[in-house]
A and B are shown apart, each in its own frame.
Chain A
Amino acid sequence: MKRLPFLSLFLLLFLVPVSGRAATATVPDPTAQMRPFVAKITNLLRNEDFKNDPKCERCQKIINIAKEHFDFREMSKRVLGRQWRRLSPEQKDKFVTLFTRLLQYAYIGKIKDYAGQQVEFTGQRIRGRRAEVKTLLVDRDKTIPVSYIMLLKGDQWMTYDVVVEGVSLVRNYMEQFREILRRDKYAGLLKKLEEKVKQLEQEKLQEATRPAPAG
Chain B
Amino acid sequence: MQILARTSGFLALLSCLAALALVQVNAAVVHAADSGDVDFLSDAYYDEEPETISVYDPLEPMNRAIFTFNDRAYFWVLKPVATGYAHVLPWEVRGCVSNFFNNLQEPVRFVNCLLQARFSDAGRVLARFLINSTGGVFGLADPATRDLDIPPVDASLGQTLGRWGIGDGFYLVMPLFGSTTLRDFSGTVVDALAMTPYYSWSDDFVVNAGIYAEKEVNKISLHLGEYEDLKELSFDPYISLRNAYFQHRMRLRDKDVPFPDE
A1, B41: Cβ atoms closer than 8 Å: no
Per the bound structure, the CA–CA distance linking A11 and B40 in Å amounts to: 38
Contacts of A196 in B (CB 8 A): 235
A172, B243: Cβ atoms closer than 8 Å: yes
A175, B239: Cβ atoms closer than 8 Å: yes
Stretch at the interface among A35-43, A63-71, A161-169: A161-169
Contacts of A192 in B (CB 8 A): 235
Q: Which parts of B211-253 form the interface with A (CB within 8 Å)?
A: 222, 225, 229, 232-236, 239-240, 242-244, 247-248, 250-252
Min C-beta distance of A185 to chain B, whole Å:
15
Which applies to chain A's interface (DSSP): helix, strand, loop or mixed? helix
Whether A1 contacts B2 in the complex (CB less than 8 A), given A12-B10, A176-B235, comes out as yes
Contacts of A81 in B (CB 8 A): 46-47, 50
A141, B222: Cβ atoms closer than 8 Å: yes
Contacts of B88 in A (CB 8 A): none
Name A161's contact: one of B6, B40, B91, B229 (CB within 8 Å): B40
Residues of chain B at interface, number, CB under 8 A: 42
Q: Which parts of A176-196 form the interface with B (CB within 8 Å)?
A: 176-180, 192-193, 196
Contacts of B25 in A (CB 8 A): 128
Min C-beta distance of A150 to chain B, whole Å:
9
Closest to B47 in A: A81
Per the bound structure, the CA–CA distance linking A161 and B50 in Å amounts to: 19
Name A109's contact: one of B232, B236, B243, B252 (CB within 8 Å): B232
A73 CB–B CB distance under 8 Å: no
B53 CB–A CB distance under 8 Å: yes
Which residue, of B40, B229, B234, has the highest number of chain A Cβ atoms within 10 A?
Answer: B40
Per the bound structure, the CA–CA distance linking A102 and B235 in Å amounts to: 11
Task: Classify chain A's interface size.
Answer: 35 or more
Name B40's contact: one of A16, A132, A176, A180 (CB within 8 Å): A132
Per the bound structure, the CA–CA distance linking A45 and B180 in Å amounts to: 37
Name B240's contact: one of A12, A127, A172 (CB within 8 Å): A172
A176, B41: Cβ atoms closer than 8 Å: no
Min C-beta distance of B247 to chain A, whole Å:
4
Name B247's contact: one of A4, A102, A147, A171 (CB within 8 Å): A171
Which residue, of B13, B229, B232, B252, has the highest number of chain A Cβ atoms within 10 A?
Answer: B232
Per the bound structure, the CA–CA distance linking A124 and B135 in Å amounts to: 35
Contacts of A62 in B (CB 8 A): none
Min C-beta distance of B93 to chain A, whole Å:
11
Min C-beta distance of B18 to chain A, whole Å:
11
Closest to B235 in A: A176
A96 CB–B CB distance under 8 Å: no
Name B41's contact: one of A149, A167, A170 (CB within 8 Å): A149
Name A149's contact: one of B40, B239, B247, B251 (CB within 8 Å): B40
B190 CB–A CB distance under 8 Å: no
A55 CB–B CB distance under 8 Å: no
Which residue, of A141, A170, A171, A177, has the highest number of chain B Cβ atoms within 10 A?
Answer: A171
The chain B residues found within 8 Å of chain A, CB to CB, are 2-3, 6-7, 10, 13-14, 17, 25, 28, 38, 40-41, 45-47, 50, 53-54, 91-92, 94-95, 222, 225, 229, 232-236, 239-240, 242-244, 247-248, 250-252, 254
5 nearest interchain CB pairs?
A166-B251, A130-B41, A167-B247, A175-B243, A8-B10
A-B contact pairs, 25 of them (CB 8 A): A4-B6, A5-B6, A12-B14, A78-B46, A81-B46, A81-B50, A128-B25, A141-B91, A161-B40, A165-B248, A165-B251, A166-B38, A166-B248, A166-B250, A166-B254, A167-B243, A167-B251, A168-B40, A168-B247, A171-B53, A172-B234, A172-B247, A175-B240, A176-B234, A176-B239
